[in-house]
Structure 1
Amino acid sequence: MTATASNPSPTGLDLQQAAKDHLWMHFTRMSAYEDAPVPIIARGEGCYLEDINGKRYLDALAGLFAVQIGYSHGEEIGAAVAAQMQELPYYTNWSYAHPRAIELAKEIADLAPGDLNRVFFTNSGSEAVESAWKLARQFHTANGERRWKAIGRDVAYHGATMGALSINGVAPIRTPFEPLVPQVGHVRNTNRFRRPEGETEEQFTQFLLDDLEHRILSEGPETVAMVIMEPVQNSGGAFTPPAGYFQGVRALCDEHGILLCADEVITAFGRIDGWFASEHYDIKPDLITMAKGMSSAYASIGAVVASDRVAEPFLHGAESFMHGLTFGGHPVQTAIALKNIEIMKRERVVEGVAERTAAFRQTLSQLLELPIAGDLRGTGFFFALELVKDNETNATFTDDEAEKLLRGFLSERLYDAGIICRADDRGDPVVQISPPLVAGQAEFDEIAGILGEVLGEASRLVGH
């Protein structure tokens, strides 16, 4: 918008004051900005961001694990937005369809593994998880069963709406909103750091599957509608599955008539090797939830894609899925997602992740030489570095120590050093590293260099 006398362009100071007076930031300790400036990001290009003061930052978190193609495609995607606005700025998917929603649904079905062919659009990942749980419940009802429970994993994050929040395995973010949606059980996650010495991969897999089976049986298998798991669990720090794990989960779900939902809000669209991590890990889910990378976060859009078996009861007779969202599958959102996927294919973004993953891991592995670095885990462009008091014993921090380390030092210091990543305490403290999928060796080196410098300071701070 062009500034005029009656509508002046806001200065940095104006924005700071307005932010402090009126903006309520998400998952933010607002008191932190009582005597400190609010970080205001104004521009982006490639893998980099720039604040209102002109300082440049390497975005090593891809926004929130979401910006696959980087920040340089605004003009091309903006042209798609303008064209769609001129053709059809809005219409609903309630009993109607429009071209972009149809085209995107087919595109997703073509990319998704197996017989996942029916796409229900939402506006976010939280809404996708919410929709998946509702769909699972109604699917069983349509087949003459009364199933309502969900099973998730410890420390897992699945969203902020009440249903998705109820599935979360992160107690501190659930507790303020209790009582939650009934009923959810939680099982052990696939964190193998600090597992017993000498435990084999097969033993770890069996331990996890026994835990899941026990939970299913204790809940009553006939009451469980859905098991939901991320292929690589984000919260807690990029937990990858052991060999045979998801095949065992699939078998247990089949044995007890439970739907398996792969939450791919983060892992879909190239974050892990492939368009969908479900294919990479041979999960064979009944449902996949997605969002973030579908549009590279250029638009707020999510979806659930369902298998033919799950969709079948709703395609014949009087049964309707009794759920809908005014903006689900919005023409502009779907046009942006289609253009994003076109760009990803044209620039071989997904293939590039597969080609550069080993180099990324190798570069980050240098950080394990720091006494504060305990474990590097993850895959694709999705890694986490667990922080420890001492990497000879792998002793972790107390809650107070983690608070001082992460919020009192690391978050601010990393930002000052020109890098945006996440110092996270959902579980044991980790630094999460997940840049745009167009990052290359220069960005890998910069990430490792800055993290090495800042974590070296942190090591001295904790007494190394």
Structure 2
Amino acid sequence: MTDISHSFFEHHPPNSFAPEPSGDLGDLDKTWILHPFTPIREWEQDRPMIITGGKGARIFDDRGHSYLDGTSSLWVNLLGHRHPAIDRAIMEQLDKIAHSTFLGLTHEGGIRLAEELGRRAPGNLRRVFYSDNGSTSVEIALKLAYLLRKHSHPGASRFFSLERAYHGDTLGAVGVGGIDRFHSPFHPLVHASLKAPAPDCFLCPLGLSRNQCSIDCADEAIRIIRRHRDELAAVILEPRLQAAGGMIVWPEGYLSRMARAVREEGIPLILDEVATGFGRTGALFACELEGVVPDFLCAGKGLTGGYLPLAVTLFSEETYQRLKNDPGIFYHGHSYTANPLGVAAARATLRALDEGRFIEEIPAKREVFFKLERALDRFPFTGNIRSLGLIFAFDIFSDPSRKIPADRQTMTGIEHRAQSLGLIIRPLMNTLYLIPPLSVSVDELTLMGEILLESLREFTPEGFAKSGKMK
């Protein structure tokens, strides 16, 4: 037998691909790190922004610059950076223990947080399974739904989701995802879901009103669900807002129509509230805006105030009892399940939400969005302006009449210009958006809008209106 054990490394010695490191942090980053969702060649061209601190709605870099955090550090920072109560809770927990396994053991923080979540969750969702991020919370819901459904419908092994859906990057979550540029490279590895069009009224080919779009889009999805009812293990949706899919704000009534039909068919309903949970939409959970209670609710991101990775999958006592009887054990877990530091941060975040008026103050802060919308109306290459709670989005077009999206170069230019003016944003294709921390002040939110407007003036086609400030 030929010995091939060393053949690869004979031609490619370890570290032969790595350039010599330098002492500059930016160069060291490029030498050793692969960043998520980041074009590799573009990243290698410029020195990266290196974040060194944060306070409230601002973050700071190693060159002494201050930036407004227009994306809440990818939708996770809920109540501002360095929130005193969350800082204190983590430090107090460090005096006890940083981590203990949750497999066969438990701890007070995990117990208390489960109780606090169960009392706040909609309907009868009182049982909690802990994990460490949104994608894993979705994986758990998919598996539990399958176990729940398999006895009454042994052939039920597919899921239903929407086009332009995003539920995470683990393979089960990719299977129910619907964003080709993210998911298509991995299609051979996954069990693809059945899909219906997202209820994006702006791109509706029939030009229907939002109300009619809600009815027609829901009817189309419901027809698919009913046609395949016996093969479906569950239906999974992002309630009211498909965030990564382009900040698609659903027409009112779509969620409740879908939920009612799914329940009539006896199919488990999973709602992915990883992006929408904990107040961003104007309610603690987005499903509460339409009085919907799912069978499984996935939450993460803002759960710990953006401090530490922690996620939960919530479900009913009835589901728990059925799982207890069969299979009697759930073969799924994570090394950092119910991490005590993350749990401490989450409990402090919930207390801060209770003690503050963050959700109650959203309507007043939305006045800034209305002013921004009026200013954007004077820019001919913007459109599809929408908002929900403390989330605001609009699109940039190279040809608005034909809805041709702006190219990547234009969107990158706007992003870099905003950054140079002190605002961190991250476009989704041709969509610009703001998702600030709930603690953002009216003045900070207004400044975010002003910087967006100024950034548009420089990096959009000739003919843009030289509009003034928001009024």
Could you state the TM-score of these two structures normalised by the residue count of structure 1? Answer: 0.90
**Which of 386, 391, 407 is the equivalent residue of 1:402?**
407
Where does the alignment leave 5 or more consecutive residues of structure 2 unmatched? 1-21, 466-471
DSSP 3-state at the match of 2:460: helix
Q: Is the 8 A contact 1:61 1:435 kept in 2?
A: yes
Matched, 1:260 2:269: yes
> Displacement, 1:248?
1.5
CA distance in 1, matches of 2:156, 2:321: 18
CA distance in 2, matches of 1:28, 1:336: 29
CA distance in 2, matches of 1:236, 1:396: 17
CA distance in 1, matches of 2:431, 2:458: 16
Match of residue 13 from structure 2 = none
Q: Is the 8 A contact 1:274 1:351 kept in 2?
A: no
> Displacement, 1:283?
2.2
DSSP 3-state at the match of 1:369: coil
**Which of 373, 385, 394 is the equivalent residue of 2:394?**
385
**Which of 325, 329, 342 is the equivalent residue of 2:334?**
325
Change (3 A) 1:321 1:141: farther
DSSP 3-state at the match of 2:427: strand
Q: Is the 8 A contact 2:380 2:464 kept in 1?
A: no
Counterpart AA for 1:15: L
Q: Is the 8 A contact 1:364 1:448 kept in 2?
A: no
Q: Which segments of structure 1 move beyond 4 Å, counting only runs of 4 or more?
A: 461-464
**Which of 272, 279, 292 is the equivalent residue of 1:270?**
279
Q: Is the 8 A contact 1:222 1:256 kept in 2?
A: no
CA distance in 2, matches of 1:440, 1:197: 40
Match of residue 451 from structure 1 = 452
**Which of 222, 225, 237 is the equivalent residue of 1:229?**
237
Match of residue 425 from structure 2 = 421
User: How many pairs were matched up?
Assistant: 443
Match of residue 436 from structure 2 = 435
Change (3 A) 1:298 1:40: same
Match of residue 95 from structure 2 = 86
Matched, 1:69 2:79: yes
Matched, 1:314 2:323: yes
Q: Is the 8 A contact 1:374 1:394 kept in 2?
A: no
DSSP 3-state at the match of 1:34: helix
Q: Deviations over 1:379-432 (max 9, x none)?
A: 1111211112344x25223xxx5222223x22322222211112111xxx1102
Q: Deviations over 1:107-166 (max 9, x none)?
A: 111111111111111100111111111111111135563422111111121111111112
DSSP 3-state at the match of 2:294: coil
CA distance in 1, matches of 2:370, 2:296: 30
CA distance in 2, matches of 1:167, 1:254: 19
Change (3 A) 1:287 1:358: farther
> Displacement, 1:316?
4.1
Counterpart AA for 2:149: H
Change (3 A) 1:321 1:377: same
Alignment of structure 1 residues 64-463 onto 2, 5 Å: 64-73=74-83, 75-141=84-150, 143=152, 145-195=154-204, 199-218=208-227, 220-231=228-239, 232-316=241-325, 319-391=328-400, 393=401, 395-397=403-405, 402-407=407-412, 409-425=413-429, 429-460=430-461
**Which of 26, 36, 49 is the equivalent residue of 1:16?**
26
CA distance in 2, matches of 1:230, 1:361: 25
Q: Is the 8 A contact 1:162 1:181 kept in 2?
A: yes
Where does the alignment leave 5 or more consecutive residues of structure 1 unmatched? 1-11
DSSP 3-state at the match of 2:277: coil
Q: Is the 8 A contact 2:131 2:336 kept in 1?
A: yes
CA distance in 1, matches of 2:374, 2:232: 41
> Displacement, 1:317?
6.4
CA distance in 2, matches of 1:358, 1:340: 26
Counterpart AA for 2:319: V
Q: Is the 8 A contact 1:372 1:455 kept in 2?
A: no
> Displacement, 1:306?
0.8
> Displacement, 1:377?
0.9
CA distance in 2, matches of 1:109, 1:146: 32
Q: Is the 8 A contact 2:305 2:345 kept in 1?
A: no
CA distance in 2, matches of 1:322, 1:449: 51
CA distance in 2, matches of 1:405, 1:461: 12
CA distance in 2, matches of 1:336, 1:46: 16
CA distance in 2, matches of 1:241, 1:368: 21
Change (3 A) 1:111 1:365: farther
Q: Is the 8 A contact 1:246 1:282 kept in 2?
A: no
Change (3 A) 1:93 1:461: farther
CA distance in 2, matches of 1:435, 1:196: 32
CA distance in 1, matches of 2:72, 2:181: 25
Greater mean alpha carbon deviation, residues 22-31 or residues 360-369? 360-369
Q: Is the 8 A contact 1:287 1:304 kept in 2?
A: yes
Q: Is the 8 A contact 1:149 1:182 kept in 2?
A: yes
Q: Deviations over 1:45-103 (max 9, x none)?
A: 11111111011111111011111111131x54333223223323322222322110111
CA distance in 2, matches of 1:121, 1:153: 26
Match of residue 31 from structure 1 = 41
Match of residue 19 from structure 2 = none
> Displacement, 1:215?
2.1
Could you state the TM-score of these two structures normalised by the residue count of structure 2? Answer: 0.88
Counterpart AA for 2:348: K
Q: CA RMSD in A?
A: 2.2
DSSP 3-state at the match of 1:351: coil
Q: Deviations over 1:347-369 (max 9, x none)?
A: 22222224423443433442222
CA distance in 2, matches of 1:62, 1:284: 27
Q: Is the 8 A contact 1:371 1:390 kept in 2?
A: no
Match of residue 5 from structure 1 = none
Greater mean alpha carbon deviation, residues 267-276 or residues 344-353? 344-353
CA distance in 2, matches of 1:386, 1:185: 28
**Fraction of identical pairs, as percent:** 28
Change (3 A) 1:375 1:58: same
CA distance in 1, matches of 2:455, 2:373: 14
CA distance in 2, matches of 1:195, 1:170: 18
> Displacement, 1:201?
4.1
